[in-house]
């Protein structure tokens, strides 16, 4: 198997797969992530759900890019 065909055989994680793996994150870690990302942490995220969803989508895309670079 040459290098090009082996690169094509690597499967990219889906955003849903990444979200599923995030379910194992401790609540304390999620709280820390939201506190460092937003001015009022959870409160800001709940008051601004569209911004939260956009940021989550960007984060999932970043995870896919990093996962691809690692493999």
Determine the structural domain holding residue 25 and report its residue range. Answer: 12-70
Cβ count within 10 A of residue 1: 6
Residue for token pair 């960007």:
58
pLDDT of res. 24: 94
Asked if the structure places residue 4 within a domain, the reply is no
Counting the structural domains of the chain, the total is 1
Asked if the structure places residue 53 within a domain, the reply is yes
Asked if the structure places residue 59 within a domain, the reply is yes
pLDDT in tens, 6-58: 444 456 779 999 999 999 999 999 999 999 999 998 999 999 999 999 999 99
pLDDT of res. 5: 47
Asked if the structure places residue 26 within a domain, the reply is yes
Asked if the structure places residue 32 within a domain, the reply is yes
Asked if the structure places residue 28 within a domain, the reply is yes
More confident: 68 or 25: 25
Handedness of CA 19, 34, 57, 5 (dihedral sign): negative
pLDDT of res. 70: 74
Contact 34, 41 (CB under 8 A): yes
User: What does the alpha-carbon distance between residue 13 and residue 63 come to, in Å, rounded to a whole number?
Assistant: 9
């Amino acid at each position: 198997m040459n290098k090009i065909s082996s690169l094509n055989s690597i499967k990219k994680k889906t955003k849903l797969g990444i979200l599923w793996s995030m379910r194992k994150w401790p609540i304390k870690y999620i709280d820390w992530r939201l506190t460092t990302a937003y001015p009022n942490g959870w409160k800001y995220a709940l008051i601004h759900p569209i911004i939260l969803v956009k940021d989550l989508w960007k984060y999932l895309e970043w995870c896919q890019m990093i996962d691809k670079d690692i493999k």
